[in-house]
Structure 1
Amino acid sequence: MDLDIDTEKLQKLTPEERDKAISTLRQQAILLNLQSLVSEVADKCTRKCITAPGTSLSNGEKQCLQRCMDRFIESHNLVSKTWLNVQSTRSSGAGMMFNSESPSFS
């Protein structure tokens, strides 16, 4: 996917056009993230669960793949939810008590 952005053209857009362009870019980023997640799950779980080539999967391999995918997706969802909560807290002003982007525990 080509994300080459012409800043000169971007500056000439109306606010509505700019919002639409940003929305489109966000949707494309979400799609790329989803494609990456699916690819990563398939790769990691296949390597872990399928130990020998064959014409079909054994019941153990099927169960392993299902559990692996479930754990991976649950972990991804938890990390995403936590990250969104942190970002929401920062943007609402509650995270402004820190002098830098990273929290200080001193």
Structure 2
Amino acid sequence: MDGFGSSSGSYPPISQEDLVDQLKIQLAEAYAQDMFERILDKCFSKCVQKPSSSLGGSESSCISSCTERYMDALRIISETVVSKSQQEF
């Protein structure tokens, strides 16, 4: 049985660049998940006055509109940041 870190394992060595790329992807996914949970939490708190076993039509519509506004704002912010960073280089 091979030990942890043994070079005779079945996995090919990974370059530092590939490792950094994988970490960036994982961080981006974690950030997106966290942001999505925060948005849903804020929208749920805003739109649902009395939680029950199901959402009413107006609650569902409110949550949908609320999350859409947050996502639009995040898109605009992201585009602005990318544009500014490209101008600097």
The runs of 5 or more residues in structure 2 that have no matched partner are 1-13
Percent sequence identity over matched residues?
A: 22
Could you state the TM-score of these two structures normalised by the residue count of structure 1? Answer: 0.67
Equivalent runs, 1:49-88 vs 2, <5 Å: 49-88=47-86
**Aligned mates of 1:22, 1:54 — CA distance in 2:** 44
Structure 1's consecutive aligned runs of 4 or more residues displaced over 6 angstroms after TM superposition are: none
State the Cα distance separating 1:53 from its structure 2 match: 1.9
Structure 1, unpaired ranges of 5+: 1-15, 92-106
TM-score norm. by structure 2 comes to: 0.79
SS in 2 for 1:56: coil
Which residue is equivalent to 1:34? 32
Say what the alpha-carbon RMSD is for the aligned residues: 1.2
Per-residue CA deviation, residues 18-53 of structure 1 (Å, 9 max, x unaligned), is 211110111011111111111111110010000002
Larger RCO (alpha carbons 8 Å, 6+ apart): 2
CA displacement at 1:54 relative to structure 2 = 1.5
- Paired positions, count: 76
